[in-house]
Amino acid sequence: MTTAVAAPPALAARGLTCHFGGLTAVDSVDFELRQGEVLGLIGPNGAGKTTLMNLISGLTSPTSGDVLLGERRLTGLPPHTVTRLGVARTFQVMRPFQGLTVRENVAIGARFGSAGGPGNMRAALAKADDVLDWIGMAPLGRAEISRLTTGERKKLELARALAMDPTVLLLDEVMAGCNPREIGDVMELIRRVNARGVTILLIEHLMKAVMGLCHRVLVLHHGKRIALGTPTEVAEDPAVVEAYLGQRYAESRRKSNA
């Protein structure tokens, strides 16, 4: 009888630690991001969420520990190499290229994001057109960045990352500042991206989105992992309620489930 060999996780952190002087921002964090899942990353402000994402994407070097993409070690690689290996991300603070159109912003991701990306600007613009059409932003392709609403800028960040053809997508508060309609639009877009086989790590404070999108949730507090489980398990974990969600949220969940 042949023994089945489990597929490696899409991405994993092993004992990941990051010190800034005397501050420990991330403290011996272990987790696995399973192939094809949406993993939520939540916790109070200052818990280490964005720092963890920076460690994964190569923007910050860990003090110790490893990041693995499948079986490949990412630790110590520069951000452009991590991106070309298939890990793309958005940023909490949006950084579009001012003075360029929406289409040109997305084309930059297509041209420089992945090893197999378009090698010239004409091909990159064609790729940008495809991505913008897929996410429903084609009418804004030639618009200046200054014309975009907050929700449209968030979708632009996502479009630029998607143009890199990632296998793993890191989303840092991609719904922050959006109105309820825009939040619904972005949530649906994330579902569609995930349905295409893209594995997603999602930092988000909006618990409606976390509960509605995530297969599992990782919780950080003071740089440490304090919980990892399904959204329901995490929402009912006393340590998570005390550190982050609060009794009011826990009580409202109990009433809604009664």
Residues 131-178: tens digit of each pLDDT: 999 999 999 999 998 889 988 999 999 999 999 999 999 999 999 989
Residue type, 203: I
Q: Which of 60-74, 80-94, 215-229 has the lowest mean pLDDT?
A: 80-94
Residue type, 172: D
Q: Which residues pair with 20 in a beta bridge?
A: 23
When pLDDT is averaged across residues 21-39 and rounded to a whole number, the result is: 96
Residue type, 117: G
What pLDDT is recorded for position 110?
A: 87
**CATH 3.40.50.300 domain span(s) along the chain:** 8-86+169-258
Q: b/e per residue, 63-86, with b = 16+ CB within 10 A?
A: eebebbbbeeebbebeeeebbbbb
> Distance between CA 36 and CA 197 in Å, rounded?
5
What pLDDT is recorded for position 257?
A: 65
Torsion of CA 212, 217, 221, 224, to 10 degrees: -170
> Which CATH superfamily hosts domain 8-86+169-258?
P-loop containing nucleotide triphosphate hydrolases (3.40.50.300)
Q: Within 10 A of 186 (CB to CB), how many other CB atoms are there?
A: 21
When pLDDT is averaged across residues 66-82 and rounded to a whole number, the result is: 94
**With 80 as the cut, is the pLDDT of residue 248 above it?**
no
Confidence of residue 120 (pLDDT cuts 50, 70, 90): confident
When pLDDT is averaged across residues 55-77 and rounded to a whole number, the result is: 96
Q: Name the residue with higher pLDDT: 30 or 248.
A: 30
What pLDDT is recorded for position 1?
A: 40
**With 60 as the cut, is the pLDDT of residue 212 above it?**
yes
Confidence of residue 96 (pLDDT cuts 50, 70, 90): confident
Write down the pTM of the prediction: 0.91
Give percent of the chain above pLDDT 70.
Answer: 92
